[in-house]
Structure 1
Amino acid sequence: MKKLWIACVLATSFLITGPLVQASELNNKAALDGIQEIKVIYDVRKANPNLLLAYLKGIESNRKNLALEGVKSTQRIVFIADSVKYITSKPSDDVSIQHGDVLKKIAEQVKRLKSLGVEMEACSAATAAFNVDNDTILPGIQVVRSGFLSVMGWQAKGYQLVPIYN
């Protein structure tokens, strides 16, 4: 009976006072201490368009959170593999039928990221493999010879890799 009473007291006090750490207190000070600027390259290879959209929104959130930490960020995205099927103005019929609504949201998010200064590239080897016409890649995304070469090059220029794989 005593254990039940203690559990009730603890549960009640939690409900009254709320969680011990408020969201406004959350930070990444330990990891970002002394860092004034960060350059990041996202290697995006998502086969699920809903997850692709979620990660594109996450990239925007990263930008905001870095600013809250006082860190200037330069972000780049390289779309490789299946992800190129979802960043085109003329998706295949099956992709369009299955994912039409989310494709519109992806296009809107790409436009938003571009307006925030995020640079984006698409791998032409992937567009060829998935029969995506390079001329239909969404505005703001530059088609490059090889996404892998871009990832290597940006890393050689000091960009930190964030892999976003299936």
Structure 2
Amino acid sequence: MIYKILKKYQPLALILFFSLLLNSCSVYNFTGTGKIDAVSFQVNNFLNNATLVEPGIERTFTVALQDLIQNQTVLTLTNTNADLVYEGEITEYRISPMTATADQTAAQNRLYISIRVRFTNKNKPEDDFEQSFSHFYDYPANEQLIGARLNGAIDEIYERITQDVFNASLAKW
């Protein structure tokens, strides 16, 4: 008897299950952002205010942050009057020795980048913040950090920093 009832209502149960599943996805998604009370975002050009200037890294960061937000949310990128605004500057870009050899020469160097980010949420001002984010890339001292290797190092650092900015602003981690 119960089997006949279950068999009869199986299509209805499946429809109900999938509609609940789809509805819950609007509240939470795999990026951890949950429901965002915004439609658009803008990333103003970041400035390079570091003492040691590497040309172009400010543009690379701006684009990396735009790409990450576009890839992990449904927000629309705009140039003006956005619900969410990211702006700031690169405050530190330095290369320093990390470990020494027995003859007092550097065995490993570190590229370190720090970026100050100001985040403004027009719809929820209590979410606004100004915070520094940083990361580093270690490499052997006997190798020069130029060309493709430098670009790879900067990309690796920016991948971490942009994810940290995303988590602080939208995922609330």
TM-score between the two structures when normalised by the length of structure 2: 0.26
Q: Which has the higher helix share?
A: 1
Q: Which has the higher strand share?
A: 2
- State the structure with more CA Rg: 2
